[in-house]
Structure 1
Amino acid sequence: MTEFTVWAPEAAPVRRRLPGSIRYELHVGAFTPEGTFDAAIGHLDHLVDLGVDLVELLPVNAYDGVARYAPPQPDGGPDGLKRLVDAAHAKGLGMILDVAYHHFGPRVRRRFVDGVLGWLRDYHVDGLRLDGVPAAPGSRLVDELTAAVESLAVHLGRPLSLIAEPDLNGPAQPALPTLLTGDRAAQPLSAGLLRVGATLLMTAPLTPTLFMGEEWAASTPRQLVGRGWPAGATPDRGTLVRSRLDWAELDKPEHREMYDLHRRLIALRRSRPDLSDPRLNRIDVRHGDQFLLMRRGECLVVANLAGKPQRINLPGRVRNVLLATATGVTVMRDGIELPPESAAIVAL
């Protein structure tokens, strides 16, 4: 039996809560060329520099129903995962684990609850994201998990999070992609619209989640497969290799520019409480012909989705421009003119 890693004092759990935080989702097998927990540790400083709060690991054993609680040995096994969690805590990053427990019958519900508590207690992760909650048969599992996790949090003396993402938002979920692409699913976004999308995501009243590489507009495809499977069980193992991030892209000007924009957006979100306020009754949205206004307290997010400059009337006088995704923003007495496919955050 594998011995559990003992917490070092400097790696004590991080008291990160979801409201006001930013999640960074990654697939261990595709995050680095080596595809291991230990290799991921070498890139934690990148996440600290970016400014995110929580690292969310996609299911470490994919969706394998046989070994639900066993991090695969090719990735580093249980000890490798513990080292990654402790290293993240030492750098001030919280750790969320993505788990899938909806493929089951009612007789094993207690076993799944115990497994959830094991991830939190034995691996020191700070929370779990429950995958496929709408597919779970009834709400009893979620209710039992919530009660058990709340009890464990009291016992451990630290906050623990459960993230459930049911399909209750209706058409809101695809709203931003549709807004940016005009409902053309295969339409690639221009660099300008990618910057607009990042701005809207980082100023929305929610907990933003970045997928690995999104912060620099990585060109690698997201064709992820399971890890730790026997040879021959995966139809095309080269899919994983093609999906691994190319960290050298950060040295290219166009990718570095996108990365720097994300850093600025995250820093601004953290310095302006209005931009991270999760209360929906404190937000006011107005849109027109290829433009969008989003009022967030004393801040206003203005987006021009058109391929030409637009003059947009504003509900108040601009005191100063906090951030712009492109040069050439002109502030006028009663409005603002934005370059094509650009956004700005202003203080009123």
Structure 2
Amino acid sequence: MSVLGASLLGESVAFTVWAPRCRSVELVLEGVRPQPLTAREPGLFRVTIARLPEGTRYRYRLDGARHRPDPASRWQPEGVHGPSVVVDPRRFVWTDQEFRGRDFADLVFYEVHVGTFTPAGTFEAIIPYLPALSDLGITALQLMPIAEFPGSRDWGYDGVDLFAPQSTYGGPRGLRRLVDACHARGVSVFLDVVYNHLGPEGNYLAEFGPYFTDRVTTPWGPAVNYDGEGSAGVRRHVVENGRVWVNEFHIDGFRLDAVHAIHDTSPVHILTEFAQAVREEAARSGRRVHLVAESHDNDRRLVLPVAQGGLGLDAVWSDDFHHALHQRLTGETLGYYGDFAGEQHLTRALAEGFAYQGEESTYWRCRRGTPSADLGGERFLIYLQNHDQVGNRPQGERLGALVPFEAAKLAAGLMFAAPAVPLLFMGEEYGDTATFQFFTSFLDPPVAEAVGRGRADDLSRFGWTRPVPDPNAPNTFVSSRLNHQLARATRHRALRDYYARWLALRRTHPALGARDKALARAACKDSMLVLERAAQAGGEVRVVANLGSAPRDFTPSAKWRLLLDSADAQFGGPGKVPLLAPYQLLLYEVEP
């Protein structure tokens, strides 16, 4: 089967495109007469051109009229409307042959938006920060979507060229350099990929084939056709996209965006087919790849083995932990936060993964979730902040802007103590004060206006009443850029030290390193939360946390040895206090 896009074959280039809606497809090169592509398999057109150098720009002419970029283009240096470029992946010299990936349970994720992480906003500009992230204890860099999108400012969920790394980020060479540098430090690289919809501008796929369906809808645009007429070619496009990321870019894993919006009634679900394909691709070079699903359904089937009726993915994002802890610390009850009033949601999320396991949800107006207590803790990825939970607030405030400093540390301690896989949002570890707002850079004014209106409507339905910044305004993007200099300031440095201490304990203490939820217990009464953790091989810890704003009486057992105190002066706290201070968290080792 031919590889989609422009593939190097010795000194020749094979151009392959799936275009069943076209009667004819021609290859248009600069200064050369258009070359017709020959129909091979149904809807699949191909032509091979000899002695064509890397860097050659090209387009396809559809039915003798419309000039369009390649749906499987590897590089769009002039943007989503410009020509595609031939890229030779063999030209890059990789140095990561010794890196084979990590066990998923050992990962500590760090979510990054490439454009706002540094002033340069490129893949390569991230590289100088890798030593500090590695020293902190980060083992997986998760990049927000990088498929080519309109302009230079976007979260990435408006991408339209799935195979092309964003040109303003540095394109394919910049991405390869970043991945190679990460692997040199033992850091995996995950991509956030969007297979439930494509962006509204520069999306020419429907002119080539039946990529979309009107049988179902998504909040962001037409749904992708995974099970209707002509869907075999659509599925191939997505599966091959995953193979290319693994093969040509050495990607170690994927975050699958909003899989609840992927509709597929096929005998083999597209997510299962995708997972099997990318794992096979990685295995060819002795590597492994992991897949994490985002879903608001709390659906255990996502991580169950295929033999047990599941989809066979590795883990799910667990919003419930965030929602329950955020609600408890901020008191917010708008939108879905209203479902999480009450400490029982937090203790259940801590010990079992999902807080909602089939109970009625007021916000969703239905029963939500499935049982999760029997699933391993490595099946759940939890967080205090991420692009959605920060960026989908009208002003994009981070948790540190909403709660006291001591409460932010308490929250981090509970995340790291939980039997789950943690994710940090960029800048969280030192308490960056920059907001993270929703931003775009659509070139088509009607599209920009429609997206802005839709954004305001979404937030209004949630219950927010504050004004919403214009997503397409450049300053909305600029105000979301990190200020790494803050990490040197006293309190910010203390917070980073606190994060580093927790991550070191997770690596070295067997009870904190275990992901066995069967040995985890959580209880809360009168704002006093106690989390018990243990390991099969031995080792036991207790976490005691004051979730309230008033001090509490507390006397530890004589067999408990203090490992960490969030109120310690070295972590920017008030120091030793006679009572359990507001938002103080204590970690003890239980001695035999």
1:177-205 residue CA offsets vs partner (Å, 9 max, x unmatched): 12222335698111010000010011111
1:206 equivalenced with 2:355 (yes/no): no
Amino acid corresponding to residue 256 of structure 2 in structure 1? L
* Structure 1 unaligned regions, length at least 5: 332-336
Cα offsets for 1:136-158 (capped at 9, x unmatched): 10371111112212322322211
* Counterpart secondary structure, 1:146: helix
Shift of 1:230: 4.5
Asked if residue 93 in structure 1 is aligned to residue 219 in structure 2, the reply is no
Q: Distance in 1 between matches of 2:326 and 2:237?
A: 38
> Is 1:282 the counterpart of 2:509 in the alignment?
no
The alpha-carbon distance between structure 1 residues 31 and 171, as it changes in their structure 2 partners (threshold 3 A), is closer
SS of equivalent residue, structure 1 residue 347: strand
Match of 2:332 in 1: 183
Q: Could you tell me how far apart the structure 2 residues matched to 1:280 and 1:249 are?
A: 37
Unaligned runs of 5+ in 2: 1-85, 148-155, 198-223, 299-317, 335-392, 394-400, 449-470, 535-539, 569-574
The one of 508, 512, 520 equivalent to 1:271 is 508
- Which has the greater radius of gyration? 2
Residue matched to 1:121: 247
CA contact (8 A) 2:145 2:159 kept: no
Inter-partner Cα distance in structure 2 for 1:237 and 1:163: 32
Matching residue's letter, 2:561:
N
Does the Cα contact within 8 Å between 1:11 and 1:87 map onto a contact in 2? no
Tell me how far apart the structure 1 counterparts of residues 271 and 576 of structure 2 sit (CA, whole Å).
Answer: 48
189-198 or 4-13, which deviates more = 4-13
Deviates most, 213-222 or 168-177: 168-177
**C-alpha displacement at 1:312, in angstroms?**
3.5
- Could you say if the C-alpha distance between residues 54 and 14 of structure 1 is closer, same or farther in structure 2, counting changes exceeding 3 Å? farther
Per the TM alignment, residue 299 of structure 1 is displaced from its structure 2 partner at its CA by 0.7
> Could you tell me how far 1:74 is from its partner in structure 2?
1.2
Shift of 1:170: 7.9
> Which residue number corresponds to residue 33 of structure 1?
119
How far did residue 172 of structure 1 move? Answer: 4.5
**Among 99, 105, 110, which residue is 2:225 paired with?**
105
Equivalence map 1:124-203=2 (5 Å): 124-138=250-264, 140-167=269-296, 168=298, 171-183=320-332, 188-203=402-417
- In the aligned structure 1, how far is the partner of 2:264 from the partner of 2:416? 33
Aligned length: 341
Which of these residues, 304, 324, 328, is aligned with residue 565 of structure 2? Answer: 324
Alignment partner for residue 80 of structure 1, among 148, 167, 174? 174
* Greater relative contact order, per chain length (Cα 8 Å cut-off, separation 6+): 1
Q: Write the letter of the residue equivalent to 2:324.
A: A
Measured in 2, the distance between the counterparts of 1:219 and 1:171 equals 25
Q: Does 1:8 align with 2:249?
A: no
Q: Distance in 1 between matches of 2:474 and 2:162?
A: 21
Q: Is the 8 A contact 1:318 1:346 kept in 2?
A: no
2:584 to 332, 342, 348: 342
Deviation at 1:59, TM superposition (A): 0.3
Deviation at 1:259, TM superposition (A): 0.8
SS of 2:180 mapped into structure 1: helix
| Cα offset, 1:7, TM superposition | 4.7
Distance 1:175 1:130 in 2: 23
The CA deviation at 1:95 is 0.6
Q: CA deviation at 1:289?
A: 0.9
Amino acid at match of 2:87: T
| CA 11–154 in structure 1, closer or farther in 2 if over 3 Å, else same | closer
Secondary structure of 2:421's partner? coil
Deviation at 1:224, TM superposition (A): 4.4
State the partner residue of 1:245.
Answer: 482
- Among residues 150, 163, 184, which one is paired with 1:69 in the alignment? 163
Q: CA deviation at 1:2?
A: 1.7
**Which residue is equivalent to 1:215?**
429
Q: Whose helix fraction is larger, Structure 1's or Structure 2's?
A: 1
1:291/1:302 contact within 8 Å kept: yes
Distance in 2 between residues matched to 1:26 and 1:343, nearest whole Å: 28
Letter in 2 for 1:3: D
Cross-structure match for 1:334:
none
Higher mean alpha-carbon deviation, 23-32 vs 186-195, is at 186-195
**SS of residue paired to 1:338:** coil
| CA distance in 1 between partners of 2:124 and 2:187 (Å) | 16
Equivalent position of 1:236 in the other structure: 473
CA contact (8 A) 1:20 1:277 kept: no
TM-score, normalised with respect to structure 1: 0.91
The superposition leaves residues 266-296 of structure 1 with CA deviations (integer Å, 9 ceiling, x where unpaired) of 0111111211322221100011111211001
CA distance 1:83–1:230, change in 2 (3 Å):
farther
State the secondary structure of the residue aligned to 2:544: strand
Evaluate the alpha carbon distance shift between residue 184 and residue 194 of structure 1 in structure 2; reply closer, same or farther with a 3 A threshold.
farther
| Structure 1 position 163, deviation (Å) | 0.9
